[in-house]
Amino acid sequence: MFPNYIIYDTDPQYSWVKYADSLSDVQKVLVLMVLEGIPIILGIAITLKAYLFTIRELEEFPQTLLDHANIKPYKLLLYPALIFITFIPMLIHNIAMIFVDRTPEWSLTIHIFLTNIVGFTNALVYIFQRRLYQNVDKIEKQRFSISSERSASFFEDFDNYESHSRNSMK
Amino acid sequence: MNLLEFDVDPDEYPIYQDILDLVCTSLSILGSLVMFYLCLRLPSPRSQSVNFVLSLAVVDFLYATTNILSFFEDRDDEALCGTFCKVEAIIRGFSFFLSVFFATCIGLTCLKTQLPNHLTVAGFLLKYAYFIGLGFCTILYVIL
């Protein structure tokens, strides 16, 4: 599809995808969209759709139950927001680089900062979220048979709701 | 030298960007290792979403590693750099794509419990996620 469109630069500082010199600006944008733009936009769209769906489902739970479990559904929007904040500045900067000879230094600085810190931000969002620890807590409680009235009642209600929603879909 | 001064000579500004790059990449390595460790601590069998978080930690670690390797390469050695940089660029491309892909898969697992059957696109994607992700990467960065 793109034979010889992509070359790999020998400069180690920027050893990522480079464009062949023969490409026009439109072709460069096309290559960029295939390699970066479409995956990023699809990723944001799918995660946004999935988490909005989950938020809608969670809102059907009684508010007291959510408060009791300390679940805030709108916190789920952090996940698509993370992909947006991390990768969209990079995409804009890379597109701008095709059309201008020299981009402002601050845009490259933002690009470097947000893109290269992705492992750290992913760790913050995916690990230091209370929900994951709740799952760990649930599994460990089941494993070691430690009774906790508060969590037991929550998960009982949760299981009842889940079986009810599954039955209603059949 | 004022590292936050943007209006500097073009030959000088990569210095503070190198430092920023190094700091961010180090934080990224640290974060992905913590994520990896905490996921491994979970008792087996791990859920599918936890497996995706584990995979995300691995690809983030690979991405950060290829970034930090750039600081230890001899830029004047074109023979070594020609091969090494190409491998590094391919790994970086793979890990970038897979980072977005696994983050999307984690989102899709939320829908999994509500899927009417396993024949949906989302169900198929999650079932064969690793093959699909690696296959796309190979097509994009190696074959093309």
Q: Which of B31, B73, B107 lies at the smallest CB-CB distance from A122?
A: B31
Rounded to the nearest 10°, the torsion over CA B64, A117, A124, B141 is -50
Q: Is residue B115 part of a domain?
A: yes
Residue B7 falls inside a structural domain = no
- What pLDDT is stored for residue A12 in this prediction? 41
pLDDT higher at B27 or B144: B27
Contact B85 A10 (CB under 8 A): yes
pLDDT at B74: 63
> What is the number of domains present in chain B?
1
Residues comprising chain A, all counted: 170
Question: Which residues are registered as beta bridge partners of A7?
Answer: A18
In a domain, B67, yes or no: yes
Residue B135 covered by a domain: yes
B45 touches chain A (CB under 8 A): no
Q: Is residue A61 domain-shared with residue A116, that is, in the same domain?
A: yes
Q: What is the pLDDT of residues A108-129, one digit of tens each?
A: 888 888 888 888 988 888 776 6
Contact status of B108 with chain A (Cβ, < 8 Å): yes
Evaluate whether residue B132 is within a structural domain: yes
- Note whether B61 contacts A119, CB cutoff 8 Å: yes
Question: Please, what is the average pLDDT of chain B?
Answer: 76
Q: What average pLDDT does chain A have?
A: 70
Same domain, A134 and A115: no
* Cis-peptide, bond into residue A80, ω within 30° of zero: no
In a domain, B5, yes or no: no
Within a domain: residue A44? Answer: yes
A107 with A51, same domain: the answer is yes
> Domain limits at B23?
13-143
Q: Which tops the pLDDT comparison, A167 or A170?
A: A167
- Sorted by sequence, the CB contacts under 8 Å of residue A75 that are 6+ apart come out as A129
Residue A19, strand partner residues? A6
B73 interaction partners in chain A (CB closer than 8 Å) = 12
Q: What is the pLDDT of residues B21-31, one digit of tens each?
A: 889 999 999 99
Q: Which H, E and C letters describe chain A, residue by residue?
A: CCCCCEEECCCHHHCCEEECCCCCHHHHHHHHHHHHHHHHHHHHHHHHHHHHHHHHHHCCCCHHHHHHCCCCHHHHHHHHHHHHHHHHHHHHHHHHHHHCCCCCHHHHHHHHHHHHCHHHHHHHHHCCCHHHHHHHHHHHHHHHCCCCHHHHHHHHHHHHHHHHHHHHHC
Residues from chain A that touch B81, judged by Cβ atoms under 8 A, are 10, 12
Provide the domain count of chain A.
2
Is residue A1 in a domain? no
Q: Are residues A113 and A134 in the same domain?
A: no
Kindly state whether residue B101 falls inside one of the protein's structural domains: yes
Cβ(A47)–Cβ(B103) under 8 Å?
Answer: yes
List, in order, residues 6 or more apart from A74 with CB less than 8 Å away.
Answer: A55
DSSP secondary structure letter of residue B9:
-
Q: Label residue B10 by pLDDT band (50, 70, 90).
A: very low
Helix orientation angle between B78-112 and B48-69, rounded to the nearest 10 degrees: 160
Q: Which residue of A has its CA nearest to B16?
A: A109
Question: Would you state the torsion angle of the CA atoms of residues B6, B12, B17, B18, taken in this order, to the nearest 10 degrees?
Answer: -170
**Chain A residues with CB-CB distance to B22 below 8 A:** none
Beta-carbon-side half-sphere exposure of residue A57 (alpha carbons within 13 Å): 18
> Higher-confidence residue: A164 or A50?
A50
Q: For position B143, what pLDDT does the model report?
A: 65
- Clarify whether residues A86 and A165 are in a common domain: no
Does any domain span residue B86? yes
**Taking 80 as the threshold, does the pLDDT of residue A1 lie above it?**
no
Could you list the residue range(s) of the whole structural domain that residue A150 is in?
A: 129-170
Residue A137 lies in a domain: yes
Angle at B57 between CA A76 and CA A12, to 5 degrees: 120
A54 and A112 together in one domain: yes
In this structure, are A74 and A148 located in the same domain? Answer: no
- Exposed, middle or buried: residue A41 (CB in 10 Å: 0-12, 13-18, 19+)? middle
Q: Do A123 and B32 touch (CB under 8 A)?
A: yes
By C-alpha distance, the chain B residue nearest A126 is B53
